[in-house]
């Protein structure tokens, strides 16, 4: 058996990834497809996977505040959207026999356990998938920052960022057919070029803790497996080249 490059990872899923082609809400077929890919790498390679899901398919706090809503209230609504997505993903994973725990940064005893670092690590060591919901529990912080923070806390070896494009480009490949794709970047280069892969707070956390980021297309079957094996897919971002 081929040994995986990473043994413990954070999988960062955007809320939009769960919406599929419909663009909003949750597409059960897409969620089931993602769950099947996660199952494959957990059961085949014994990789420990923690997941952070965004909420943009339901609500975006930044968009709400731009229209006059109080930013903190809008962000808390976004956190609740991530909980909805996390429960949907948990249901899909458990239907394919992957033991899963949702841990929330805001206490919700009836539906999920609170985030406790040592408990999360223990779940991972027992082969369970762990989904971190409700962001960091604080407004003004993105789910990208949540992924970077949790990755540092649980000592993840990498963050795999699942997108609907096959890497990082110098401009939008959907609008510019001549957009250039990067195979490798440093965090400094990413920030200096304003590529918008993740916010500056998240990038700083990853850079300081030397956590590599792999940006890849979730729509292509087997890409989570390829990323974990260290194959050249998407764009790899690190502290150095």
Domain limits, the chain: 9-160+187-230
Residue 201 pLDDT exceeds 80: yes
pLDDT one-digit tens code per residue, 158-191? 999 998 889 999 998 888 989 999 999 999 999 9
* pLDDT confidence bin for 230, thresholds 50/70/90: very high
* β-strand partners of 130: 50, 101
The DSSP secondary-structure symbol of 157 reads S
H/E segment holding residue 94 = helix 71-95
CATH of 9-160+187-230, one of 3.30.450.20, 3.40.1160.10, 3.40.50.300, 3.50.30.30: 3.40.1160.10
What's the CA gap between 87 and 102, in Å, rounded? 7
The answer to whether the Cα torsion of 187, 189, 142, 71 is positive or negative is positive
Q: For the whole model, what pTM was predicted?
A: 0.95
What's the CA gap between 86 and 156, in Å, rounded? 20
């Amino acid at each position: 058996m081929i040994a995986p490059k990473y043994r413990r990872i954070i999988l960062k899923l955007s809320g939009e990834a769960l919406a599929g082609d419909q663009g909003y809400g949750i597409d059960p077929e897409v969620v089931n497809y993602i769950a099947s890919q996660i199952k494959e790498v957990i059961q085949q390679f014994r990789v420990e996977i923690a997941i952070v899901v965004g909420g943009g398919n339901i609500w975006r706090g930044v968009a709400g505040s731009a229209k006059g809503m109080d930013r903190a209230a809008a962000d808390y609504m976004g956190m609740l959207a991530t909980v909805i997505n996390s429960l949907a993903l948990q249901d899909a994973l458990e239907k394919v026999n992957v033991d899963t725990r949702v841990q929330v940064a805001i206490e919700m005893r009836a539906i999920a356990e609170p985030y406790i670092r040592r408990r999360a690590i223990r779940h991972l060591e027992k082969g369970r998938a762990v989904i971190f919901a409700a962001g960091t529990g604080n407004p003004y912080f993105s789910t990208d920052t949540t992924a970077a923070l949790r990755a540092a806390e649980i000592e993840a070896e990498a963050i795999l960022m699942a997108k609907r494009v096959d890497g990082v480009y110098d401009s939008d490949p959907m609008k510019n057919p001549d957009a250039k794709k990067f195979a490798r970047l440093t965090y400094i280069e990413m920030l200096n070029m304003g590529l918008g892969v993740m916010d500056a707070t998240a990038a700083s956390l990853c850079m300081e803790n030397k956590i590599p980021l792999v940006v890849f297309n979730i729509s292509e079957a087997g890409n989570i497996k390829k990323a974990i094996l260290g194959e050249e897919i998407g764009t790899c971002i690190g502290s150095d080249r």
